[in-house]
Chains A and B, each alone.
Chain A
Amino acid sequence: MSQLTIILWMLNVIVDTSGQLAFKAAASASAEHDGIAHWKHMLKRPWIWLGVICYVFEFVLWLAFLTLVPLSVGVMLGSINIVVIMIAGRFLFKESLSKWRLIGIMLIACGVTVVGFE
């Protein structure tokens, strides 16, 4: 992998994770509201818009990344996002990391590492 490929991959992980966390923050900060009120509350706060901005950047980064790697490698390397988001959820939202989650996280991390040697 070239340096540009790795930079694009890392940036993609950062914006995808930030986007997911922003959406989670948006949804849980408005959790006491239901239906349309829930959406109104979310749209008036910055979190959901931060998520949207992240997704716009992710879209461009993903396209650029896929130009440089084969599609099969791209989707496999992209799986690391699941791991990073779960770890971030652990620290920011106090989500539990059960035994099966830890095993899953480790397996995915190993798999991505192996694919990285491709």
Chain B
Amino acid sequence: MMKRFYILGFLALIVFDTLAQVSFKFASVHAEPLTMDAAWLVRVFGAPWIYGAFVGYIGAFFTWMTLLKYAPVGPAFAASHLELISVTLISVWLFDDTLTLPKIVGGALIIAGILCLARSEDKDSQQVEVEPSQAPAS
């Protein structure tokens, strides 16, 4: 069933994206202090977290490409950015982030913006390309 495929695909995308961001945060915390030198990079790559971020990115990439083959680009685009919600909730749980008013209001505005962009993508993809995009002279 196609509907189940979409839902599973979008969920997988959000899970991979969330895994990537949470792993990035763990990697950065583990590698502190932020000295931005070779020793810092050694601390980053010496812990397992950064590899979780790679898994998340690679998983998200292939899920995205598979979804794009079948799903309309608008909802797919929105889903690819909705990890904002899952990442925020998980960071409250794992990293003791607090849900302050600016975060809630700002986050809601960003989500609303993403949904508008998703809507525009949907409409644009329904039309045949009227103005082909031009590549810069290369």
Contact = CB atoms under 8 A, between A and B. Distances in A.
A64 B115 CA distance: 29
Interface residues of A, number: 48
Contacts of B115: 104
B106 A118 contact: yes
Interface in A76-118: 76, 79, 82, 86, 92-96, 98-101, 103-118
A60 B35 CA distance: 12
Contact of A114 (B106, B135, B138): B106
Contact of A108 (B87, B114, B133): B114
Q: How large is the interface on B (under 10, 10 to 19, 20 to 34, 35 or more residues)?
A: 35 or more
B133 A115 contact: no
B113 A104 contact: yes
Interface class of chain B by DSSP: helix
Nearest to A55: B57
Chain B CB within 10 Å, residue with most, of A25, A64, A116: A64
Contacts of B133: 28, 93-95
A25 B135 contact: yes
A37 interface: no
B27 A72 contact: no
A62 B91 CA distance: 17
21 contacts: A63-B27, A63-B28, A66-B28, A71-B24, A71-B87, A71-B95, A72-B87, A72-B88, A73-B103, A75-B84, A79-B81, A79-B114, A82-B117, A100-B123, A103-B113, A104-B116, A106-B113, A111-B107, A111-B109, A114-B105, A118-B100
Interface of A: 25, 28-29, 31, 45, 47, 60, 62-64, 66-68, 70-76, 79, 82, 86, 92-96, 98-101, 103-118
**Which 10 A-B residue pairs are closest in the complex by CB-CB distance?**
A111-B109, A107-B113, A104-B116, A115-B106, A100-B120, A108-B113, A114-B106, A111-B110, A104-B117, A28-B135
Interface of B: 21-22, 24-25, 27-29, 31-32, 34, 36, 41, 44, 81, 83-84, 87-88, 91-92, 95, 97, 99-100, 102-103, 105-117, 119-120, 123-124, 131, 133-136, 138
